[in-house]
A = this chain, B = another copy of it.
Amino acid sequence: MNQQCKVCGEPAAGFHFGAFTCEGCKSFFGRSYNNLSSISECKNNGECIINKKNRTACKACRLRKCLLVGMSKSGSRYGRRSNWFKIHCLLQEQQQAQAAASQNGNQKVPALSPNSLNLMRHPSYSSNLFSRPPCSKEDLMMMRLDEYVKHPATASSPSISSPDSHNSDSSIEIGDKRNSILNKQNKLVPNTQQQPLSLNKDLFLPLPFAGFPLMPPPGFLPPPTHFLFSSYHNAFYEQNHHLLQHQVQQDLLKTSNMHLPFSSANLTSMKEEDDENEKEMIKEEHEEQMNKRSLSAATLLESQRKQLTITKIPKISDSSSLRDGKESEDEDIDMNENDEVLTPPRSPRSPRQQPQVENNPIDLSMKSGSSSKSDDINHNYFKVNTNHKSSSVSFLMNGNSDSDSNDQKTNNINRKEKIHCHDLKDGNNEKHFQINHGSVSAEEDDGYMNKGIFDDRSDEDEEYERELKRRKLHITTPLDLTTKV
């Protein structure tokens, strides 16, 4: 994995306290979280843009950035990461690379097939990001974030990190004021609100998990087997929330297997739709956060624990239903129904044509199976470390590479095998990932559900928020990265 620190942009040492961070930011957060008194107020009106070079200049802004990207003491996770998580990261990297490549105006960015993105959108993410009630530290942060959102300049919020992200991500954390500034200063930061999604949209997702508020870190992703891949991708999060949730829910109900429909065609269409609603989403995000609940997450979790998987994703014809009814969204998720029960509340984008989920599992153990149909055929290669019957993906966190090639990443894997993950095009004859062991899925399910993400907020968390406020560390952290993956 070539993840970068979400706080300062330096190569990440791992996933710490809920976000990919470098050793420095990890230690800083660990030290500072419980010692706010040591953090002096920002001398720059709290608008410092954190990067690797200046990260030590303003502790207040550094800590704010940490919180903004979702770091939390309560979100830590131990132990080896699941293959899904790793795969997700790989895919994410691919996506980013391709997005960067496609920035030139090329529509072919299929590293992550559009279909998969559409189908895979993870409900828990969107719900966590937007549905959590504003009662804890994160909520407070969120509220502040909303303020930023209200300003057009906000477009460059962290969630929309620039492709170069090394530089831009640091800037992302700031509110609209800062964002506007950043935009001016940093050309790399795309203006989310004003640019059409399409390829440009990809630019928003260059950094894995960058732009947190909008795109939670992979660690929180759910992982119903097949889902994991696509769900972890930024594209999914940002644009396919509704789809993902909807899909996932239905799948869970059916307890059927899912495919990764990697067709770029669908993706493209989805993006366009998203573009239309881009601004609207931004406006609504705050409200969404307030209202979103983890009900869907809990439901998903349960189904996952039952070894489920993802089945088809029904098409959602009524966009209005998805976006409307903020109030109802919080509680109205009905897991029992296949339909739009899982639709994320207030999702700005309405899913339109849902690809049909198929029963072609993705075989991580190198098995090839039939795939689903897709418009485009793009082959994505993943290297998977296969040990005996179980396949594992080696997850290396070596900050060095900004590598564009996925291949390089795969090299890190032991006993790697090449897996073909391509857009679903050839119907049933294509290769695909397939997960054969249930143990992983079981584990993943827990992560997937992440229901506890926000439910577990402790009094300490809330108190911590208050303390942060007292210390003028107005941080808006949308996500609670506490969840394990």
Contacts and interface: CB of A to CB of B under 8 A. Distances in A.
Interface of A: 1-2, 9-13, 22-24, 51-54, 56, 74-75, 78-79, 97, 101, 164, 166-167, 185, 222, 249, 252-253, 255, 290-302, 306, 330-336, 341-342, 344-346, 381, 383, 394, 396-414, 416, 418, 441-452, 455-456, 458-459, 480, 482-484
Given A335-B410, A408-B296, A412-B252, A442 B342 contact: no
User: 10 nearest interchain CB pairs?
Assistant: A294-B400, A295-B408, A294-B401, A398-B445, A293-B403, A293-B401, A297-B400, A399-B446, A400-B449, A335-B407
A191 to B, nearest CB: 20
B293 A400 contact: yes
Contact of A401 (B53, B295, B381): B295
Contacts of A458: 53-54
Given A78-B24, A404-B345, A446-B13, A298 B185 contact: no
Nearest to A456: B53
A336 B252 contact: no
B401 A449 contact: yes
Given A52-B456, A341-B411, A408-B249, A445 B400 contact: yes
Nearest to A340: B407
Copies in the complex: 2
A451 B336 contact: no
A368 to B, nearest CB: 15
A331 B404 contact: yes
A451 B166 contact: yes
Given A335-B383, A405-B333, A449-B11, A398 B52 contact: no
Given A166-B451, A399-B448, 9 more contacts: A2-B293, A185-B459, A292-B402, A295-B407, A298-B401, A298-B408, A298-B412, A335-B409, A400-B449
Given A293-B408, A298-B400, A400-B293, A22 B446 contact: yes
A359 B46 CA distance: 53
B335 A416 contact: yes
A295 B396 CA distance: 10
Contact of A293 (B290, B404, B414): B404
Nearest to A439: B13
A448 B10 CA distance: 11
A323 B444 CA distance: 45
B398 A306 contact: no
Q: Which of A346, A403, A410 counts the most B-chain CB atoms under 10 A from its CB?
A: A403
Given A335-B408, A404-B291, A482 B52 contact: yes
Contacts of A445: 11, 396, 398-401
Contacts of A299: 396, 408, 411-412
B255 A456 contact: no
Contacts of A446: 10-13, 22-23, 398-400
